[in-house]
Chains A and B, each alone.
Chain A
Amino acid sequence: MAVSRIRRWRPTTPVITAVLLAAMPLIFISDFARAIQLRFCVMLLLLTGLNFINGYARMSSLAQAGFYGLGAYTAGILAARLDVPPALAFVAAPVLATVAALVIGAASLRLRATYFTMATLGAGYILYILFGRMTGVTGGPNGLLGIPALSVAGIEISGPLPMYVLAAVLALLGVVVAYNFERSRAGRALRALGASEPAAVASGVRAFRLRLFAFALSGCYAGVAGALETFDATFVSPSSFGFLTAVLCVVGLTVGGAGRAAGPLIGAALLTALDELGTEYAGYEMLIVGLVFLVVVQAFPGGVAGAAGARWPRRGARPAVARATEGSAS
């Protein structure tokens, strides 16, 4: 009995993320590895953001790629075409993506779940079409060129390692904020709303407002991811922000474990690995995605994080019966 009461310390998701982000550049040091690591940070931001609405609120948004692109083009256009200081252009990206999420969310979050998904699909696609067709502003299908290096207070952040450090710091910050949110009063309310809307509303939760907040957060994270992408690649093209990316975000989060802190981390790792596989087995990557998705949602409805949580439960998350007997025995 006494033994079972000892708290087994388990690393939290922010701790795992911090260790991972710090260790990766030390172990794999080539520029090629650096590019993959930065890709991982971008994916982590995208999925951690998506987890607010698709995970905790249990609504399914397909607009994440659109917000990602909006962030990328905002940063790119401001810095390359309008001569806005790069640091300011970087900050403007999440701001505009958040505003877009607020507008799209205000129009679609009162809809029932399936219709909301359709609306976000439409909104994301409209953004994608705009990126490709507004040639005068975005450069169209040929892409946007001439993006200057990022610099903050006179210090230039360019080259693989400085860009990676920036990406890692922002990704970790994003994970920590999400982790705090999940445990907060508002985070609890959002998860409650996802589980039972009537009971949450009857407890005083303002459903629309809270969902809008979650959706705006998802847009904000995507905006940061987009700005990172732009200043790292110094090139923006519409092809990265289409339907495929939108679906990959949802699949990555679902397979990783939607609604769980570790879900985006696992999902981002899988998507980054897939990216590499894709270059080797070009044309087959969607087949791989489809198969992995099918197997995981069938075998582990809670995703990889859900399955791991059931295998190694947190303190207190042990089966109810075990705890009940323990309580009566003491």
Chain B
Amino acid sequence: MTDEGLVITGISKSFGGVRVLRDVSLRARPGAVTALIGPNGAGKTTLANIVSGFERPDAGRIDVSGHDLTRRGPDRRATAGLARTFQNLEIFTGLTVIDNVVMGAYGRGGAGLLSAVVGLPRARRADRRARAAAEELLDRFGLTALADAPVESLPFGQAKLVELARVLALEPRVVVLDEPVAGLPAESVRAVGEQVTRMAGAGAAVLLIEHNMRLVMEISDHIAVLDHGELLMEGEPAEVRADPRVIEAYLGPDADRIAPRRES
């Protein structure tokens, strides 16, 4: 059976009578970057929350690799191989950089509570393995020198990279990234872009929510446009760029000189 990646089917959601999402269906294929774009308030983050289990949809279902996860909580979805980042930086302050990354692998299992408290060798071995994997990831993100630093001492751009490394530690099949480069300087944007491409290259289905259109056009294999809670269109970057509806709804008249639309 081929892995179907992330399949979003007929998702609807209202908040107090306001329709935020209306019958949204979308697929993120394994090994590809699927971008979800749209103006502010289009419902992108709500969709990310529904996909990752932080919010319950009124209707519709979420499948990951052929498993229906609609009724599972966010912790159980992590166990099923679904990882996400957050729009606002969510890191584990008080933990070192490497412990932040090791935490990402939590959903893959390990020693139980009691063997950990007693300090059984089995628990120590599992911990060493998780550490070795985290070290490899830090190396890949150029963060090796910072491994033992408290994560709160890092500048914003590097903290964002730690968040990405943490997500990868889960070895996820599906990754949801909610505006991973918002507020980042140009060189960090490039670094994040490379890592996202690499995630997909390794076989993960990546759902990328992003306002930085240059990045989206550059690294996406497929783009879906959300407007007023409905899927306006989807297609390859070139198609989306050329579609008059998208230009009108989102990109504005200067579609050729697409710049990040993030209001600063």
Query: Which A residues are closer than 8 A to B by beta carbons?
Result: 177, 180-181, 184-189, 191-192, 194-196, 198-207, 213, 259, 315-320, 323-324, 326-328
Contact = CB atoms under 8 A, between A and B. Distances in A.
Contacts of B86: 198-199, 202
A324 B127 contact: no
B124 to A, nearest CB: 9
29 contacts: A180-B118, A180-B119, A184-B127, A185-B110, A188-B95, A189-B103, A191-B94, A192-B92, A192-B106, A195-B93, A196-B90, A196-B93, A198-B90, A199-B86, A199-B90, A199-B91, A199-B166, A200-B92, A202-B74, A202-B90, A203-B104, A204-B76, A213-B113, A315-B148, A316-B147, A316-B148, A317-B148, A317-B149, A320-B153
A206 B146 contact: no
A324 to B, nearest CB: 5
A191 B95 contact: yes
Given A181-B117, A196-B91, A323 B106 contact: no
A189 B107 CA distance: 10
Interface string B16-27: 000000000000
Interface stretch (B38-46, B77-85, B191-199, B245-253): B77-85
A191 B152 CA distance: 14
B154 interface: yes
Contacts of A326: 145
A181 B116 contact: yes
A203 B106 contact: yes
A303 B105 CA distance: 31
B140 interface: no
A194 B99 CA distance: 14
Contact of A198 (B54, B103, B146): B54
B213 interface: no
Contacts of B78: 201-204
A248 B119 CA distance: 31
Nearest to A306: B94
Nearest to A185: B110
B93 to A, nearest CB: 5
B3 interface: no
Contacts of B111: 184-185
B103 A200 contact: yes
Nearest to B119: A180
A207 B118 CA distance: 21
Given A200-B103, A203-B78, A205-B106, A323 B149 contact: yes
Contact of B146 (A202, A213, A323): A323
Given A181-B117, A188-B99, A316 B92 contact: no
B50 to A, nearest CB: 13
Contact of B103 (A203, A207, A328): A203
Contact of B74 (A189, A196, A201, A317): A201
Contact of A191 (B76, B92, B117): B92
A25 to B, nearest CB: 28
Interface in B123-180: 123, 126-127, 130, 144-150, 153-154, 163, 166, 170
Contacts of B113: 186, 213
A195 B95 contact: yes
B175 to A, nearest CB: 11
B39 to A, nearest CB: 24
Given A191-B92, A192-B92, A205-B75, A320 B103 contact: no
B9 interface: no
Interface of B: 52, 54, 73-76, 78-79, 83-84, 86, 90-96, 99-100, 102-108, 110-111, 113, 116-119, 123, 126-127, 130, 144-150, 153-154, 163, 166, 170
A52 to B, nearest CB: 11
A185 B123 contact: yes
A270 B93 CA distance: 27
Contact of B144 (A177, A184, A194, A327): A327
A194 B90 CA distance: 12
B169 to A, nearest CB: 8
A291 to B, nearest CB: 27
Contacts of B52: 202
B83 to A, nearest CB: 7
Contacts of B130: 185
A323 B95 CA distance: 16
B102 A188 contact: yes
A207 B170 CA distance: 17
Nearest to A176: B119
A202 B83 contact: yes
B116 A185 contact: yes
A13 to B, nearest CB: 15
B116 A195 contact: no
A319 B149 contact: yes
8 closest cross-chain pairs (CB), A and B:
A204-B107, A327-B145, A316-B148, A184-B116, A204-B78, A199-B90, A320-B149, A195-B92
Contact of A317 (B90, B102, B150, B163): B150
A259 to B, nearest CB: 7
Contact of B75 (A188, A206, A259): A206
A204 B99 contact: no
A186 B95 contact: no
B94 A184 contact: no
Nearest to B111: A185
A44 B189 CA distance: 49
B116 A180 contact: yes
